[in-house]
Structure 1
Amino acid sequence: MSIKNESRLRRARRGRAKMRTQGVNRLSVHRTPRHIYAQVFTPAGDKVIASASTLDSELRSGSTGNMEAAAAVGKLVAERAKQAGIEKVAFDRSGYRYHGRVAALANAAREGGLEF
């Protein structure tokens, strides 16, 4: 594993430890150069309540590695979380900088009705 990825995972662990003490549902983001994924976990982190990604059939058309695709994933995960009765979450950026696609997903999730 590269030093860069180890550092990112260390940052992610630090953030998740703080979220665990808050005891709220967690909106976690994972990104690759081609896709972006979002999942809402229970406070214990053992179950996925809602998820969305650029691999979903409704989001698959067009480009999947840009900010527009990330915003679409954010809206979709917010919609699915609200259907499951979740309105308040903690945003887990998984050690990624809050910039670009990660920020676009977060802003779209807020517009979709999630509070964080």
Structure 2
Amino acid sequence: MVLRILKSEGYETLQALSGEEGIKMAELFKPDLIIMDVVLPGLNGFQATRQLKKNLETKDIPVIIVSGNAQATEQFWVLKIGAVDFMTKPFSKKDLIAKLNDHLGRKLPMGN
């Protein structure tokens, strides 16, 4: 769903299928922003984000954590490990684009 939304809005996207793959891709491609699900094979989203934030090559890449769990403790840990934001699934296209615009410094299109 996220990839489809981003592509429909003209964003260039990459997809990693595990935390480890995401870390390697971040080191290689230096994306403007990472959307990280908590539930991933191998390293989970918290562990992968923690590693990204400890790495000099990737520490400045903003990470938005996505989870189906809206508990306050999960949101607390998201910010503690260095992510810039948290989104609870399900979320709307408008909410996703607004978060991206906030963290990438873009304006939300008038039609959305």
The two structures have a TM-score, normalised by structure 1, of 0.32
The two structures have a TM-score, normalised by structure 2, of 0.33
| Greater RCO, CA 8 A, separation 6+ | 1
